[in-house]
Structure 1
Amino acid sequence: AKRRPHQVKDWVSRARKYVPIIEDADAFGRIWWEWWTDISPPWRKSTKPMGRNSGGDWTVLDIAGPNGFLNVLACLKWWFDKDASSSGWAEAVDDVTWAL
């Protein structure tokens, strides 16, 4: 995805044996939210908090393989490790949990 945090590329390119450095938790959070919005179904993108109509089409999040949904979860972990009290982290976890 275009807006994927660069830390994901760094992590994947090193066979996931590397913990990316998050310099600024709030900045990382903003980038993560842009990416999450970008990869989410179109019907969820109009507002924040994102729509929660479970009857919509979810196929855009059916991401398999080495660059799949695990990347979303890994980002949440890195963000938490840097600063769990960072703006938007709890909302991000809640939204991903709901989407799953």
Structure 2
Amino acid sequence: MIGYLRGVAADRVWQDLVTNLVGFEKFGHPANGNLSTKSRPQEISDWVRSKKKDVVPSIKQDVYGPHFMEWWGGLQPSWRQFQGANGPLDLVRETPKAETWVALKKGGTSGIYVVVMGLSWWIKSQQNERDANAWAVVDDLSWVIRQMTDGQDSLALTVQKRHRDDDCQGNEVEDQPLQKRREYIGLMVMVWHFCKFFVLG
């Protein structure tokens, strides 16, 4: 489905979102927890239950959009309050030191992936005019995913340094760049999730 997501829109902000999603999934975040379904658009619920995951549902943009925004807003941590009346346009973008993203950090086919997939339908439904709210959610979702993976990137750098130190001391380490290993692991994680989703339903 990554190929499908890449083809949704050529806009850089959308392509960045897909890239961020792949980066998020390659860390293998727990897939045994589901995001809240409260206020989730019915089209998404139907798609999740469907065996035909490659079928893009037909949506009514003026109805689906507000429902999607309500769902996305409801998924946010309690500390991420709205600053105004414009939904994702006004969500707080400063993470307090004592707070976490645990409520949203869900990997696999019941987590953030479903949000991106549902958002893709909203983007594809646009005909002649761009929906500012839809693209605001694209930008916000991409930002959230980056926040959830920043700590993982730091951890990966720490592991990389440790391997270099071990190598200097003559210890046996895998002679392969960390980036290559991470890409391979990420690919395997994505393949496993998608096989589970599409084969087992």
Q: Secondary structure at the match of 1:66?
A: helix
Residue type matched to 2:50 in 1?
Answer: R
Question: Larger Cα Rg: Structure 1 or Structure 2?
Answer: 2
Equivalence for 1:3: 39
Tell me the alpha carbon deviations over residues 6-56 of structure 1, each in whole angstroms, 9 at most, x when there is no partner. Answer: 111111111323211112x13211111100011111111333410011333
Q: Unaligned stretches of 5+ in structure 1?
A: none
Residue type matched to 1:47 in 2?
Answer: Q
The total of aligned residue pairs comes to 99
Q: Unaligned stretches of 5+ in structure 2?
A: 1-36, 85-89, 146-201
Q: Distance between the aligned counterparts of 1:87 and 1:30, measured in 2?
A: 12
Q: Distance between the aligned counterparts of 1:45 and 1:18, measured in 2?
A: 35
Tell me the alpha carbon deviations over residues 48-90 of structure 1, each in whole angstroms, 9 at most, x when there is no partner. Answer: 4100113332110012343211111011110010017124011
Aligned Cα root-mean-square deviation (Å): 1.7
Q: Distance between the aligned counterparts of 2:107 and 2:136, measured in 1?
A: 24
Give the TM-score taking structure 2 as reference length: 0.46
Q: Distance between the aligned counterparts of 1:17 and 1:9, measured in 2?
A: 15
Give the TM-score taking structure 1 as reference length: 0.86
Which structure has the higher relative contact order (CA within 8 Å, separation 6+)? Answer: 2
Q: Are residues 1:74 and 2:117 paired?
A: yes
Aligned with residue 51 of structure 1, among 87, 92, 99: 92
Residue type matched to 2:81 in 1?
Answer: K
- The runs of at least 4 aligned residues of structure 1 exceeding 6 Å deviation read none
Residue type matched to 2:112 in 1?
Answer: F
Is the 1:26–1:86 contact (alpha carbons within 8 Å) kept by the matching residues of 2?
no
